[in-house]
Structure 1
Amino acid sequence: MVKRVSLKGADCPVARSLDVIGDWWSLLIVRDAFDGVRRFGEFQKSLGISKGILASRLLALVEFGVLAVEPASDGSTWQNYVLTPKGEGLFPMIVALRQWGEAFCYEEGEDHSTLMERKTGKPLAPLRVRSASGRELDARDTVVRKIQPDSTYL
């Protein structure tokens, strides 16, 4: 089996992000956490994942600070996995993946789920990348620049 290479020290923030949440099980665990799943058994049932893989991914997500472990609120010996502020920061990414999947991974008319605003019951507007002034941007409007620790651009 090929050993996984760590991207922890990479210069690219995309690569570093993938080092934390880049496998599909981790992303699906985070998705389920946003949907209210809290306990090990609930994650296992929802995902159909082996106990070993689930335990490994949950441990990694806790170590990276995406999830935290809390005692169950019902006083049982169970523990809950809850999103931290770092984990909650993944919400736009989960929405973007969902919207991309809705647009490109289904045949026209094929049944699928969609994310709705709880208050209105209406689908979310597509996510858009915007400039600091609010103008909508696409990839041609952007460039990657390295930032030095003193925040100057190269």
Structure 2
Amino acid sequence: MGAKQVDSVCPIARAVDIIGDKWSLLIIRDAFDGIRRFSQFQRNLGIAKNILTTRLRDLVDAGILSIEADSAGGAYREYALTDKGLDLFDLMTSLRQWGLDHAFAPGEPHATLVDATTGEPIPRMTYTTPGGGVVEPARTRVRRPTD
């Protein structure tokens, strides 16, 4: 990760350059789950301090997290998702759905994304075409700027 920039017309390559490592994705996951302090990230992830420091700095530099004063008024700094970070919700939900489909044995316990008000599981996320049909891989293609 870091300040490098992929010279590519591919949005996936650019996104992976910014957030495409395990620790960054898990930090973002934890931020969505309400974790805000360095010590909380470290404890929850079991990550080395130097790696966490680097990943948090990179996510702040990328505009995904911001550094804020401690919400309790203490001397600590807290990390909060920015609007750019909140825009990663669909990606994180897609990864969650893929993990549920392919990373657990049938009947194996797993975390579930639920509605904060009702406690009901969130329905599977799907994408639709402008005409209302389901987007399917076989019915899509990538249009490059040179096409």
Q: TM-score, normalised by structure 1?
A: 0.89
1:106-151 CA-partner distances (Å, limit 9, x unpaired): 1111111111112221111111121123221110111100247xxx
Task: Check whether the contact 1:7–1:18 (CA below 8 A) recurs between aligned residues.
Answer: no
Question: 5+ residue gaps in structure 2?
Answer: none
1:26 is matched with which residue?
24
1:120 is matched with which residue?
118
Task: Check whether the contact 1:102–1:114 (CA below 8 A) recurs between aligned residues.
Answer: no
Equivalent position amino acid for 2:99 in 1: G
> Secondary structure of the equivalent of 1:16?
helix
Question: 5+ residue gaps in structure 1?
Answer: 149-153
Which of these residues, 131, 144, 147, is aligned with residue 146 of structure 1?
A: 144
Equivalent position amino acid for 1:112 in 2: H
Asked if residue 62 in structure 1 is aligned to residue 70 in structure 2, the reply is no
Task: Check whether the contact 2:6–2:14 (CA below 8 A) recurs between aligned residues.
Answer: yes
Matched length: 146
2:103 is matched with which residue?
105
Q: TM-score, normalised by structure 2?
A: 0.93
Alpha-carbon distance in structure 2 between the residues aligned to 1:39 and 1:130 = 37
Q: Which runs of structure 2 are paired with 1:54-93 in the superposition (5 Å)?
A: 54-93=52-91
Identical aligned residues as a percent: 43
